[in-house]
Structure formats: structure tokens, C-alpha cells
């Protein structure tokens, strides 16, 4: 069914899984409903609401499977299903199937199930792309640079784990929501981060991954309009607004060198509104603070006239709630801009014995700071350290050129 797009497919999968609690059953039932449509619709015509028709038909197909498995009474008792009262598929939508509240609950439940803490981060991203974003297994494999058979095995294994643990495909309770929502937000954030700067491969960015992450963030903000979901969306929108200036040919362009006239003004305006909304909430947390940092960058006419002191203050606030090494790196860079490169280098050197020693951006930040201080030899050493760590080929080319610039600078003309 080529005309059933992935958005509709993901909604139907979420609805069926929320009703039956079984991803495999939901997928099989939907496939049977689609096959039935190929037979029925040419004779009876396309129904007014294809979504309602497919939903009703898939539910009936799922019940047939349950009957064949001889567990009908157990399933009916748990799910309160009364198959005899289900309407026959017609050309008219079932109002219950179109209820926005039910749909929102189904999609939100799928989000939380796919980001369950018992799954590995890789499996969470794969399941979210497969069942929330609605990508096919082949598309997920392509997006994550994994062979299709490997991705098939990963998804099967993850689904089996959810089934074995009895993970519900429903939103968590109000008491569990703050803890569980952090995992969902993290999945979307990591997906965007991988598209923003690939961990491997030839290209520096993957626009399909960043676009999908923004789309998922929009959906999540609609399903769960809280400060942190709005903050995450604001952060991604503001970051994505810089995309037109981030690449020159195949090479990445650092923020300081970007032509800000190329930034997407409409996305910046949207991101600023969202960031202000998130920051104004008493529930504002790490993503809302990161969005505020991105907003200050967006408002700066250039790197020199950016309010680095405000960014440094925001990083201190962020470190108070998330003291991770990457946050400490961001604070060091911001304070170096605000209070001088010497100050920034001291802060960077204080982080040398942390896990950041294995993080390429850390060495790049040191190299740039050392160049500003006129220490070409130390900067070259930092660039070499960065090149020894894993990254994409486009980034390698940029770092190689930067290394050449400090080891073999262009001759001066008298």
C-alpha cells in the first residue's frame, strides 16, 4: 500500500500496540489489514476514512490471531475487548478511533516503551525510528549505518526483551513521568547529535537524521507539552537553523566562521519563542537551559559580539543540574570567550584527566584556544590528538587542513 505513508503506519502501529500490548501482533495485524484493503477497496471503493477502516480491520485480524492461539478469554479479560460489538469495516470513521486523546496516549505510550531503560541506547534509537517514526527496518539500518540483517536481529531482540519483561505500551504514571521522560528525550537528542556530526562515515552531517529528530521532538512536545520537551524542541530548532552555514563543500565550518546571514531566520524566530516558553517554566531543566544557550548564540550578530558572559552563566546553571564532562567543556569554552583565552585554557587543562581525553571536540577546543594564544606547536599537538580519535572523514579533512595551517603557515609578504 504505497499510499499509506509512514506517519499513518506509525499511528496505526501505536494504536494497535496500545490496545493489544504486543508489537509483533500489531505489525502482523496491520499487514493483514493492508492486504485485505488491496482486495476490498477496488470493489467497494476507497472508504471515507482509510485510517478508521484499517484500524477496525486490523483489530479484527488481531482478534482472529488471539482466537487461534486459544488465549481469547485471557486476552479479553485483560483488554476488555468485545469483538462481537466491533462494527464491520465501512466507509465511515469510528469516532472512538479518531479521538485525539486516544491517539495521543497511544503515541506517547509507544515513545516510552521504545525508550525503556532496560534497552541499550542503540536499541532505543532503533526502536524509536522503527515504530514511532515509522521507518522500515531497511531505512533504520541505512540511517544508523548498520547492515539490514544486523538491524533485523537487533529489532527482534529488543522486541523480545520488551515482551519478556512485560513492558506496557502506555504512558507512565504521573509519579514515574519525570524519571522516564528523561530517557525519551535522550533518545531524540542522541539521534539529532548523530546527524549533526556523524561519529563515522564520509559525510559530516546526515540531514535525514536531524530532520527526523526535529520531527520526533515536535511530536513529543505536542504529546507531552512540558518545559523539558519544549526546551528540547527549542534546542534542536535553533541548532538546525544554522545548518545552511555549517558546511562549505564537504567540510564543516566552525560556529565562529559561519556566515550568519545564511541562518534560517524563520527557524530562529520559532526557536527563540520556544526557548523563552521553556525557560519561563518552574520545571525548566537541562534542555531548557541548553535552549537558552542556543538562543543567546542565535541573537549574537557575530562571534565577537555574542554575549559570552551570559552563556558562561547559563553553563554554570547547567552544570548545577548536569555535571557531565561535555557540559564542563562547554563552560570552559564559554568562559574562555568571556574572560580570555588564558582563563579558558586553564579550565580546559583541568579537564585533561577526565573522559574528555577520548572526546575529539575537547582536543579541537584546546587547539583553537592555543592558536589564539599564539602557541602553534601546542596547537599542532592538540590537532594531532584529535585526529587520532574516531570521527567522520569530512571532519578529518578539516582537522588535517587546520593542522597544516599551524605547522606550515602561509609565508608573509613584506
Name the residue with higher pLDDT: 182 or 86: 182
The pLDDT assigned to 101 comes to 44
Q: What is the pTM of this model?
A: 0.74
**Mean pLDDT of the region 303-316:** 94
Distance CA 355, CA 353 (A): 7
Out of 31-40, 272-281, 293-302, 323-332, least confident range: 31-40
Residue 381 CB-density burial (10 A; 0-12 exposed, 13-18 middle, 19+ buried): middle
Continuous H helices in 280-392: 286-299, 308-321, 325-339, 341-350, 360-372, 376-387
pLDDT average, residue stretch 391-408: 89
What are the beta bridge partners of residue 251?
248
Average pLDDT, the chain: 82
| Highest-pLDDT range among 21-30, 177-186, 368-377 | 368-377
> Of 2-6, 163-167, 200-204, where does mean pLDDT reach its minimum?
2-6
pLDDT of residue 390: 82
Task: Give residue limits of the domains in the chain.
Answer: 6-98, 336-414
pLDDT digits (tens, 9 = 90+) for 69-128: 655 555 555 555 444 444 444 443 343 344 344 445 577 788 888 888 888 888 888 888
Are 325 and 359 within 8 A, CB to CB? yes
pLDDT at 97: 40
Architecture of domain 336-414: Alpha Horseshoe (1.25)
If you average pLDDT over residues 6-34, what whole number do you get?
A: 76
- pLDDT value for 51: 80
User: What is the structure's pLDDT at 329?
Assistant: 95
Residue 287's Cβ-side half-sphere holds a number of Cα atoms within 13 Å equal to: 31
Q: What is the pLDDT of residue 4?
A: 60
> What local confidence, expressed as pLDDT, does residue 337 receive?
95
pLDDT class of 182 with cuts at 50, 70, 90: confident
Q: Please give the pLDDT value at position 142.
A: 73
Question: Which range among 24-33, 159-168, 197-206, 309-318 has the greatest average pLDDT?
Answer: 309-318
CB neighbours of 151 closer than 8 A, spacing ≥ 6?
Answer: 126, 137, 138, 140, 141, 144
Q: What per-residue confidence (pLDDT) applies to 231?
A: 96
Torsion of CA 327, 121, 101, 166, to 10 degrees: -140
Q: Which of 35-39, 149-153, 382-386: highest mean pLDDT?
A: 382-386
Is the pLDDT confidence value at 52 over 90?
no
For the segment 272-295, the average pLDDT, to the nearest whole number, is 93
Examine the pLDDT at 317 and tell me if it is beyond 90: yes
Q: What pLDDT does residue 262 have?
A: 95
Lowest mean pLDDT across 98-112, 194-208, 351-365:
98-112
Where residue 144 falls among pLDDT bands split at 50, 70, 90? confident
Amino acid at each position: 500500500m504505497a499510499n499509506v505513508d509512514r506517519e499513518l503506519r506509525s499511528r496505526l502501529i501505536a494504536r494497535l500496540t496500545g490496545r493489544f500490548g504486543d508489537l509483533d501482533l500489531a505489525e502482523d495485524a496491520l499487514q493483514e489489514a493492508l492486504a485485505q484493503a488491496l482486495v476490498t477497496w477496488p470493489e467497494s471503493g476507497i472508504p471515507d476514512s482509510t485510517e478508521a477502516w484499517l484500524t477496525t480491520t486490523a483489530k479484527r485480524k488481531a482478534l482472529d490471531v488471539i482466537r487461534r492461539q486459544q488465549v481469547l478469554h485471557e486476552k479479553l479479560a485483560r483488554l476488555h475487548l468485545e469483538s462481537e460489538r466491533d462494527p464491520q469495516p465501512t466507509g465511515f470513521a469510528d469516532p472512538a478511533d479518531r479521538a485525539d486523546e486516544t491517539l495521543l496516549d497511544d503515541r506517547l505510550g509507544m515513545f516510552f516503551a521504545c525508550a525503556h531503560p532496560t534497552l541499550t541506547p542503540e536499541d532505543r534509537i532503533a526502536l524509536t525510528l522503527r515504530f514511532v517514526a515509522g521507518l522500515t527496518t531497511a531505512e533504520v539500518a541505512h540511517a544508523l549505518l548498520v547492515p539490514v540483517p544486523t538491524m533485523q536481529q537487533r529489532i527482534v531482540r529488543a522486541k523480545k526483551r520488551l515482551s519478556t519483561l512485560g513492558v506496557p505500551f502506555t504512558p507512565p504514571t504521573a509519579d514515574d513521568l519525570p524519571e522516564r521522560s528523561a530517557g525519551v528525550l535522550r533518545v531524540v537528542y542522541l539521534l539529532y547529535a548523530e546527524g549533526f556530526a556523524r561519529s563515522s562515515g564520509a559525510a559530516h552531517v546526515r540531514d535525514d537524521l536531524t530532520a527526523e529528530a526535529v520531527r520526533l521532538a515536535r511530536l513529543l512536545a505536542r504529546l507531552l507539552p512540558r518545559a523539558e520537551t519544549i526546551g528540547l524542541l527549542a534546542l534542536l530548532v535553533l541548532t538546525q537553523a544554522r545548518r545552511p552555514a555549517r558546511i562549505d563543500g564537504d567540510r564543516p565550518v566552525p560556529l565562529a566562521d559561519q556566515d550568519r546571514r545564511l541562518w534560517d531566520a524563520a527557524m530562529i524566530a520559532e526557536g527563540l519563542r520556544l526557548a523563552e516558553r521553556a525557560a519561563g517554566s518552574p520545571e525548566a531543566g537541562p534542555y531548557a537551559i541548553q535552549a537558552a544557550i542556543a538562543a543567546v548564540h542565535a541573537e549574537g550578530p557575530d562571534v565577537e559580539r555574542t554575549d559570552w558572559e551570559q552563556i558562561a552563566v547559563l553553563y554554570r546553571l547547567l552544570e548545577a543540574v548536569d555535571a557531565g564532562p561535555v557540559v564542563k567543556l562547554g563552560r570552559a569554552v564559554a568562559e574562555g570567550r568571556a574572560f580570555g583565552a588564558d582563563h579558558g585554557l586553564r579550565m580546559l587543562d583541568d579537564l585533561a584527566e577526565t573522559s574528555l581525553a577520548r572526546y575529539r571536540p575537547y582536543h579541537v577546543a584546546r587547539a583553537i584556544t592555543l592558536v589564539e594564544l599564539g602557541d602553534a606547536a601546542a596547537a599542532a599537538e592538540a590537532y594531532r590528538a584529535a585526529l587520532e580519535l574516531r570521527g567522520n572523514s569530512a571532519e578529518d579533512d578539516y582537522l588535517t587542513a587546520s593542522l597544516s595551517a599551524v605547522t606550515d603557515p602561509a609565508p608573509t609578504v613584506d
